Structure 1
């Protein structure tokens, strides 16, 4: 049965308009992008099949646009629409961190790091530079590594802080394994950075480790 033949209160678009996007399942949200399914299958049924094949929503959407385009029933146009939607979400979150707005909620910074770093196949160490009022100045990926780790050089972090005239920073890196638990090395480099930054009077506010679940805050653990 086509979605247009469903009762109105069960159709994804009508439910979204009435109750908001949060009321829809992953398959229903994906179905809105698809618009329609292959012959004999509704968009929702097709979305469920794609999710089942990938395992869940995240491994499906972590694919590159070319990989998405190769999936049954997607193609270049729908794959590009999905990739564009994901990027819009990231930029919308980044707009909340635009200079001029003080960063008062640590969870927002953690979510931003997760959007930027989660799903990368290699480890990336990034830094969010802040001014004296904790307003965002810039976000930079400073070090890239392998599947197992990235070497972090405190001297380079200090140089970038001076270049941005930053008063404070938040750092973060991803664990491609999906495990967000900080390692002993993560704690050690955090302390090295804290000490190096103290010499130039720059505060290290937090260090987020990004895995499959919620970002892990070293400050929340009492390790900063």
Structure 2
């Protein structure tokens, strides 16, 4: 059961068997609360507060725990009691989790529909504060070979260079690609620029013999497929 410490109560005042690290060893990480897991990462509290109180403050500084994955080191350090060293540990743990998830997904993920593409991309792209243009490079079985962010910024035809995308596709021996970008506004509705860029890439892909299967726009936990909408 998660511990509820008073601000002046220190971790040394907690019975040894009930401390987070000891509980993790005895019962496994899955048995710990989010507060306790963060406390283990932080290691120590402050002079006047236990590490569990500090961990609770970290959690309370974000609307939901999923927001931790997009937090910057500066945002972690803005929490009272979290210095650069503790912030770096949190950031490293979050990044390791992302890489483990991404590697697991890449090894098995086959895209057969716009829903599959959106599911693959949604976790990383739905809460970004800037537009990111991402390309999935796939083999003849529609398995993801590689995912790459091509550029960051507002989408327009002047900055989307087909040669950069298809150079990478050739390098990866990709049979096809799926393009995607996010709308920080939350609405995935395509703009005229989105449609223009899509048509340019489809035409370039046809010349290269590398099919552009779709262009997916990610909003706030929702998406639109330009292929399904008839724009390609």
TM-score (norm. length: structure 1)? 0.70
CA shift in 2, pair 1:133/1:60, >3 Å: closer
2:83 to 67, 75, 79: 75
Conservation of the 8 A alpha-carbon contact between 1:94 and 1:112: no
- For the structure 1 residues 211 and 73, does the alpha-carbon distance in structure 2 shift closer, same or farther, using more than 3 Å as the test? farther
Partner of 1:43: 51
State the SS of the aligned residue for 2:140.
Answer: coil
Normalised to the residue count of structure 2, the TM-score between the two structures is 0.68
Q: What CA RMSD, in Å, does the superposition of the two structures yield over aligned residues? A: 3.8
2:137 is aligned with 1:132: no
Q: Deviations over 1:138-184 (max 9, x none)?
A: 33222321xxx32253734445434543212122222233x153434
The 8 Å contact of residues 12 and 24 in structure 1, kept in 2 or not, is answered as no
Secondary structure of 2:141 counterpart = coil
Q: 1:9 to 1:117 in 2, by over 3 A?
A: same
Q: Say which of 170, 173, 189 aligns to 1:165.
A: 173
Q: Paired residue for 1:103?
A: 109
**Match in the other structure for 1:94:** 102
Structure possessing the higher radius of gyration over alpha carbons = 2
Task: State the aligned residue count.
Answer: 215
Aligned position for 1:150: 155
| Distance in 2, Cα, partners of 1:180 & 1:32 | 38
Unaligned ranges ≥5, structure 2: 1-8
Shift of 1:8: 4.5
Match of 1:188 in 2: 195
Once residues 31 and 172 of structure 1 are traced to their aligned partners in structure 2, the CA distance between those partners, rounded to angstroms, is 37
132-141 vs 198-207, greater mean Cα deviation = 198-207
Structure 1 residue runs without a partner (length 5+): none
